[in-house]
Structures are given as structure tokens and as C-alpha cells.
Structure 1
Amino acid sequence: MTMTTAAIDTAEDRKGSRVPSKPGAPLLELKDLTMHFTVKGEGLLRRANNKVQAVDGVSLTVGPGETLGLVGESGCGKSTTARLIARLLTPTSGQILYQGHDIAHLSDRQLLPYRREIQLIFQDPYSSLNPRHTVGTIVGTALRTHNMVPKGRELARVQELLEVVGLNPEHYNRYPHEFSGGQRQRIGIARALAARPKVIVADEPVSALDVSIQAQVMNLLEDLRKEFNIAFVFIAHDLGVVRHFCDRVAVMYLGRVMEMGPREQIYAAPQHPYTQALLSAVPDVNVARGAEPRTRIRLSGDVPSPIDPPSGCRFRTRCWKAEDICAEVTPPLEEKAGGQLAACHFAEPQV
């Protein structure tokens, strides 16, 4: 990091609307959030007769400066949750509370001040940047939209942001195709940072990058979090990256949160069978030091369709602990003996 907070947070940059906080309210809170997509049938009439239950009753909170990791298999609803938080999608039901204000069903005009507070870093650094716009235009859009700097100050502010994310400030007039993948993702981070958000939703921001570049981008995000006290909702497949970056972890399966808790608890003593299976597949570096290898848990069967998910516990069709009650009663996400929350009738820590 080459810039300080003072260089970014000037009196000029604090112009524009900010959302007042309600006393005692969390920074971000999701309450029973649901997102169902209508699927049209086949034939001439193509009637809408099915719904994809992408997100179904997700509840979680994020505090100032906190990092929450969302993990799970492809299709579990992580990216849909990210887009709901950023209000790129309107939820079917439930609440999205930002500093106590429900933004779940606000109009585009009403959402404008919240757009500044919650920003999104996209997964693909190649398709998320407009190839017809220069870097200066891409990064400066938030400054103009939210009236954050006076006329004539925008270029200097854009150059400051480019320097913050490790790019040459003089490259503001270049186009995205002139940069590498890692550099493009830094441009996307600068765009998100331009609005001085309090929450950044990072949707697998390093999955499309080379391993060496991944480390650089992750170190940059960590520096930004510490420097500006930004809260992150971090979505990833790589459990090693989540363990390094996140304070708390939420494990999703088929649209629901299966387990959630502090990073140390989740990785040291997972309680839900699905979490145990995920962590058993992570390579253990301690084996090279003479430690006994962990028992690999191999799940049988495929992930059920979100159009017709199983009754009761959605993981029961692949779970070795499943009994009759798992099909009849949906287990609530509740606190277990280890301290974390788990949605399982037979949760127990695996040490």
C-alpha cells in the first residue's frame, strides 16, 4: 500500500449522500432471505410451472471491518446471495438490512445512497470491465454518480485510487485489454473502492487468476480491509484462501446455510457432516511433516436439483448420518456445543 487513509478520505471525498445508521443495528444483516427463479416449461405455451430455489431462508450478519466467507459447491447459492446483498437482484422474500434499513425492495432511485455503501468485486476480470471505456472512466464513474469530488478533481482522485491498488497512476487513459488478468482485477477493486464503501462483496475475486497473482490480490484485499475498516462478504471455492482471509465462515448447500461460526471453530472442529466432507478434501500440509493423513469423506450421489430439493434436511440424500427425522423435519440453524451454528439433527464436532 502506497497511500494512507488520509490521502483517500479527504473533505472533498466525503461529499455525497451517506446512509444514517440506526442505533444498535448491525452493519449488514440478512433475515430469512429467499430468491426463487421461475423456469418456463417446454412446448408452445411455455407456461411458468417450476421455480429454482437458488436461495432459501438465508440469515446472517456482518459487522464493521469483519470478513465473512461463504463457501460451498457450485450451484449452492453463493453468487446469488452476493447479488442479492448488492441488490443486483430483488429477493422473492426476506429482508436485507443495511445499518437497520431494509433495502430488499427499494426502487433504483431509493437505492442510490446504498449503492455507495455496498460495492461488488466480480469474479471475471475480463468480462466485468467495459472494453470501450478507459480505466479513468471505469474507476471514475462512482465519483460522478455520487457527486464525491468537485469538478476538476476527478482525474487526481482516480490516479490516487490506481496507486492504492498498485497500478501506475499514469495508465488512467488505457483500456482494459492493455492489462493482464491480475491488473484488471486491481482495476475492479479500485472501482469498488472509489465510492468509499463500508461493505464489499467479493464474488470469487481470485478464482480466474494464476496462483502467483492470487496471492498478490489477496494481500491487497487484506491491506485494504485493515486500512479502511471495510467489511467483506468473501465468496470462494478455495477453503485455504477463506481460512487465511475470513474471520467467520458460512457453509452453504443447495440454497441454505448448513453451518456458520468463527474460522477457528469451523476448521478445527466442524459439526455438520457437509462441512466435515468439504474440509476432508482440503490437502493437509501437516502430512508432509509426518502427521497422520485425515480420513477422506467421499459423498455419494449428485447434488439434488434446486427445482425439486429434498424434504427436511437438503443434505440428507448424501449424508451418512441421515435417519427418518431428517426427511420429516427441517433442522434449524442453531447453536451447538462447540459454539458455532449448525443445521443438523445429529451435529457433533469432528476433531
Structure 2
Amino acid sequence: MERGLDIRNSTVMVTGATSGIGREVAKTLAGKGAHVVLAVRDLHGGAMAAEAIRKAFPEAVVEVGPELRLDDAASIRAFADTYRKQQRPLHVLVNNAGANYISDGVTADGVPLLTQVNYVGPYMLTRLLEPCLRAAGHARVVNVSSVTHRYGVIGNPAAFLSSSNSTVGGQYPATKLANVLFTYELQRRYGTQGIQACAVDPGSVATAIYRDSKLFSAQPLKWIIEKLYAPPWDGAAAVVHVASAPSWGAPAPPRGRSRMLAEWPPHMDLQQTPQWFFARGLFALPIITHFRGPGEGLLNQLRMYGWAAKALTLSALDWPLRRVTNGAWGSGTTAVPSAPTSYDRGLSTALWDLTADKCGLSRE
């Protein structure tokens, strides 16, 4: 099981730390005594974020790494090479950077840009920094996912990695499901070697991720996001918790009727391969976490629409509940079941292997 962590004097790397959740995570962890590395694509923005952190915490140790573009494999390799050459450990890697409404272009390797930024890039970065994580003795990888992973579908991993039109229910939810599948496969492969992994749902947060959406930038959803969704400093709380808590405790057992859960726990013993997914506030309620995922047929479609309506309602109540109660309700971060599909060992293994091939990395 997971060993204790002392965040003080630990080296923490946060991707996407120029704004939003990533910036607040970096700021809070620096305030807790961590040595924070900002892994960002905008070096000027990174420098401004670092200066703001030092202003808030004069004793903070924060640095801006070389440019990291998750949409560019060469940039990821160069960034990881630079860090490895410093021959220092990495205690916590927070894969926070992500996007939603970007173009339908593809990378030089034929990967859809959204899939590259949200999943393949973090996968590649984590794999290339593996020696630094091992050098820490015991390390953590924190992958920021989303409640939307609960209706994500990856029917064919090869198609998911090569086409933006291959996923039922949308590409973004599929990438967030891929984050969780990657997390669990990483835990199975590296958990006994001192590298623990978890995924976390930060909840409904008002960040720039909605900016380029025609739907969410128009009324009334724009008003809901601006007035009812949590500010980034509050949305960072769940990520900060799992990055800095001395111990994660016991994982939550899976829920839902699904073919891949039929033989649980013999193939996935929680004592041998614990699989942690965290959520906070109303996003940790069974009404959200016990959703079985999308399925075929009219009844399943109606069930899906009903769950989506409940999830949207709770997303608008989560931050107001904390605000009016001064944090007395809805502030805790707990281990909860992730989507049933995320426990599919065959799917996570196939996705890991095919992604390794795309990145030119060993499958082992």
C-alpha cells in the first residue's frame, strides 16, 4: 500500500501552472514547503506565476522549467531530458494541463490534438520522468481527470489514438476516461516499485477551459459558470489534498454492472493493486459516482440523460454550498468509485501498449 509523504522539501512538478487550477495548486504546495517546478508552454506566463507565488510566500522555492508543449512530442522529450540531466528526484508529478475546445488537427504522429494534449502528452511525460520518480524512493503521480469521464467511451483504443470522430459521447470525456485508465495501469505496473498513482476530479471550476465553447460561452450557461462554479483557488483543493496528504488511505471499491467487473476481485485485488480516484463535495455523492455509464438502447439513453441533468444541477450547487456554509459542508475530498469502464484491465493494457508505440517507448 501507499507509503507516507512529507510534502515539505519534496520536489513537485505541476503542468499547466500559468493559470487556473494548476497555478493555484502550485501556489498552495509552495506555501506548504514544497520545491515547485512549473512545467508550462508559456514561459513568460510561468515567470509571472512564479513571481506571484513568491510574493504570496516569500520563502517559497519555485522555478520555471524549460518550455513544455504537450502537443509536441519533441518538446516533451526535450523537457524530460533536461530534468533528467539534473539528476534530482521528483516526488510528485501533477499532470494538470489540459484543453477542451481546440481544433480538430492532428500531430505529426497522427494523434488528434485534444487526445494528445489531454492524454498522450501526460502519458509520455510521466514515462520519460520515470527515473526521477524512482529516484525519489516513493513518489506520486496525480492525474487530473473530470466527472465527464463517467460517460466517456473508448471502444477501440487504436481508433481513439488516431481519430477525433471515433468516440461515442464526445472526445473530451474519452480523454478524461483515458486519464483514469492510464492511472490504474500505471499503479499496477509501478505501484510495487515506489510510484503511486491516482486520478482526481476537481469538480465544477470556472476556468478558461470553457472560453472557446460556443455552448458554455453563451447564456445561460455562461452565467452559471461565472456565478455558481468554484473559483480556481477552491477548485484546486482536491488536487492539493491528494498531492500533499501524508497518506491516501484505502481506495474505494468499484461500482456498477459491467462485464469487466464480473471477476472482481480475483484479477484486481485492492490490497495488491489499489486504484484511487478522488472527488470532492457533491461530486463524491453516490448519485454521481454510482452511474453505470452509457449503454445501448432507449432505456440506457434515458438513464444517461437523467444522470446528466442531476450532474449539471449538482455542479451548480457544489461551490454555493461551501460558500454559504463557510466550508462546513462539501469541502472534504474522498476516495470514490470511478466509472465502471475504467476498471477494464484489458482496455487499460491495450491503451498503454498502443500509446507506448505512438510515443516510441517500451511497452514494459
Instruction: Please give the TM-score of this superposition, normalised by the length of structure 1.
Output: 0.28
Structure with the larger helix share = 2
Q: Whose Rg is larger?
A: 1
Structure with the larger strand share = 1
Structure with the bigger RCO (C-alpha within 8 Å, sep 6+) is 1
